[in-house]
Chain A
Amino acid sequence: MPPAEAPLLEARGVSKRFGGLAALADVSLAIGRGEIYGLIGPNGAGKTTFFNCLTGLYQATEGAFLLGGARLAGLKPHAIVARGIARTFQNIRLFANMTALENVMVGRHARTRSGVLGAILGTAATRAEERDTVERARALLAYVGIEPRAHDLAKHLPYGDQRRLEIARALATEPQLLALDEPAAGMNATETAALKALLERIRHDGVTLLLIEHDVALVMGLCDRVAVLDYGRRIAEGTPAQVRTDPQVITAYLGGALP
């Protein structure tokens, strides 16, 4: 069901060309507050490019993103984080040689202030902020269920925990919108079920979710609405049930309509 109130995130005619290749062509969509919105499509359809444009890693060739009605065009990635968009990565990209706790603490950067001077002088404000950062980071590790690994280096965590750590680090930025790039990739059925519960809890706690995912069962069971990309174009949008029976979607995935 389309959102009644103003959308949290809106993409207006977003295009991204690399030389002659159109990775995204005129993609528009709107995500309501509190929604879990899926972005699916065959490999190379432009899903990760969409994320990269959204988070400021790439500049869209045309079109713009609006968060809560405010344009994000031209903002640097760290400024977009400050506005309230956080992400995870398809191939895990943690700070491998920092502890799990420190990884999450880096995520607090946009929400904290202290400078070098405060640190050198050891001011009360700086120390209070640092304590608060540690406490929040620990709470987030507990929230995603990996608190016992707080002092392990990120690279020494098992794969599933690394995925959870990425989510905790993204949540540390206090996002309004959390963009997850294939969060269930490489997970077995049990891990995927636990992930689904975690994502539902995150939504329940007030964060809107946008996820790229290939696990059809997860998308069907979790997402309120789904958009389908193919060759950079949005070819369908709707509830999972609507989308899975859409002839264009079936063509995109299977290469032709069934007889």
Chain B
Amino acid sequence: MTAADWTTAVLLPLGALFALIGTIGLVRFPTLLGRMHAATKPDTVGLVLLLLGAAFQLPGVGAAAPLVLVVLFQFVTVPVLAQTLGRVAYSRGETSNDHLVLDELNEAIELAKKDAGNSGGEQDR
């Protein structure tokens, strides 16, 4: 076995393990936000490790180029996804308060409501 083979032999199972743990989190976490954390992020690490491991088995740099592109897409799209989903989850009221130590966004919203009430006008979009 060559050095490239050894690298692949380490990176592939490690990446798959991260992906697997992410999906176990998807099953086990009790809250929606927790499940989002588990699903979107260890998956990213897992994907990067897997693609890196796979790249060592390919014939050349040109052949591995699409892998780089996929990692780049993943890095750009994961934050957008996480942010959109988090925002939607919060505005739908699907974040359970029992599992939050602190919720400063709710405090800010309450404050904004009070301000709107004091100034007399209904602040609508």
Q: Do A and B come from one complex?
A: no
B-to-A contact residues, CB < 8 Å? none
